Chains A and B, each alone.
Chain A
Amino acid sequence: MAKLHVSTTINGEPAEFLCEPGDTMLDALRGPLGLTGSKEGCASGDCGACSITLDDRLVCSCLMLAAEAEGRHVGTIEGMAHGDKLHPLQQKFLEMAALQCGICTSGMLVASDALLRKNPRPSEEEVRYWLAGNLCRCTGYDKIVRAVLETATEMREAAQ
C-alpha cells in the first residue's frame, strides 16, 4: 500500500512526513521525524511516556494515528525549551531532582505544561490527578508533584 503523505505543524514549524496508514504518531515522531524525546513505554496508553499535545490537547501519541496529524498542531518535548532557555518546568525539574532515569520525564513535562496552561493554580490533588496517567518508576512522584506546584507558583508570580 502506498504511504500516506501528512502535512502538519510540529512545535510551531511546518513539517511533512510519509507514514503507513497503521503507523502511530509516536512511530512517526521517533522514525521519519527523528524526534526521539517522546518515549515508548507501554504502547497502550498506560504510561504517558509518549505524551504530546495535539492542538493543545494532551494525548498519548502511541494511541493516535500519524495520519491524524494532518493539518493539526503537534507539540512535543523538543519544543518546550526556547533554544538554550529552558521552560520553567524543565528548570524546576532539574533543580528539584524530579527526574532520574529520564524515560518518563518528557511525558511528565509535556503533561505538566498542559496542566499549567489549563489551570495555572492547581492544588496538589489536581496535579496528582492530572499526572495519574504518567508513570514514573524512579522518583516516587513526590519530587515531580512538588516541582510542578513550585513552578506554578513562580510562573504566577512572574506573570504579575
Chain B
Amino acid sequence: MNVITNNKWIGQRTIRPDGVDKVTGRAAFAADTTMPGMIWGKVKRSPHPHARIKSIDTSAAKRMPGVHCVVTADDIRNHAASREITIWAYNDFCPPSPGCAFPQDPPPPSSSGIGYAAVWQFAQSPRRKEFTAHCPASYHKDGNCYAPGDIAHAWFLDVNSAASPDPSGGVR
C-alpha cells in the first residue's frame, strides 16, 4: 500500500482563506460596500404565498421622499423594446412536434445582425400543458407557426412574449 506522507491538505484541518476577515468583521459583503453616487434598491416581494399579480400600483412608492425610481416588469419590457433587444428563444423542454417553431439548437445571437441581441431561454416545461399547448404561436412575433429549421422566420421574438400565460412570466 502506498501511503502519502507529504500531502498538504488531505486529512488536515485547514483555515478558511476568508476566515480571518469574517471573524473580525472586516469581510466586505456586497451590502457592506459603497460607491460614489450609489443608491439603494430594495426588492418588494409578494406578501402572499400563492397569488397572481393582476396589477401593480407604484404611485405611492414613487411619491416617497428620496425614491429615484420604482421598477417593475413593465419597465424592463419597455426598456428592452426601446433598445431593440432581440430575444432569441429556444426551448429545451418543449417536445419537438410538427409545426413547433423552436429549434433544438438555437442560432447564435451574432447571426441576428443586431448588436443588442441576447439569448433568453424560455422554460417551457411539458408539465405546463396549458402553456406549452400554444408555445409555438405564443412566442411568435407574427403569430404564425413555422416548421423546425425555418431560421428565416422563426427566431425573432419580441419582448411582449413576456406577457405570455407562462407562470414564470415567460422570461427567465
**Which A residues are within 8 Å of any B CB, using their own CB?**
30, 35-40, 76-78, 80-81, 86, 90, 93-95, 97, 99, 102-103, 105-106, 109
Contacts and interface: CB of A to CB of B under 8 A. Distances in A.
Given A30-B32, A40-B31, A99 B24 contact: no
A99 B19 contact: yes
B113 to A, nearest CB: 44
B133 to A, nearest CB: 40
Given A30-B32, A36-B32, A40-B31, A94 B20 contact: yes
B18 interface: yes
A37 B32 CA distance: 8
B110 to A, nearest CB: 38
Nearest to A34: B34
A99 B25 CA distance: 12
Contacts of A105: 22-23
Given A36-B32, A40-B31, A103-B29, A97 B24 contact: no
20 contacts: A37-B25, A38-B25, A39-B29, A40-B31, A76-B25, A77-B25, A80-B24, A80-B25, A81-B24, A86-B20, A86-B24, A90-B23, A93-B19, A94-B16, A94-B23, A95-B15, A102-B27, A105-B23, A106-B25, A109-B23
B26 interface: yes
B16 to A, nearest CB: 7
Pick the 7 closest A-B CB pairs, nearest first: A37-B25, A102-B22, A77-B25, A36-B32, A90-B23, A94-B19, A106-B25
Contacts of A99: 16, 19, 22-23
Contacts of B25: 35-38, 76-78, 80, 106
Contact of A86 (B13, B23, B28): B23
Q: Do most interface residues of chain B lie in helix, strand or loop, or is the interface mixed?
A: loop
Given A99-B16, A102-B18, A93 B32 contact: no
A5 B46 CA distance: 38
Nearest to B32: A36
B124 to A, nearest CB: 33
A90 B24 contact: yes
Interface string B77-108: 00000000000000000000000000000000
- The listed residue with most A CB atoms (<10 A of its CB), out of B13, B28, B32, is B32
Given A36-B28, A103-B29, A95 B22 contact: no
A35 to B, nearest CB: 7
Contacts of A36: 25, 28-29, 31-32
B16 A78 contact: no
A86 B23 CA distance: 9
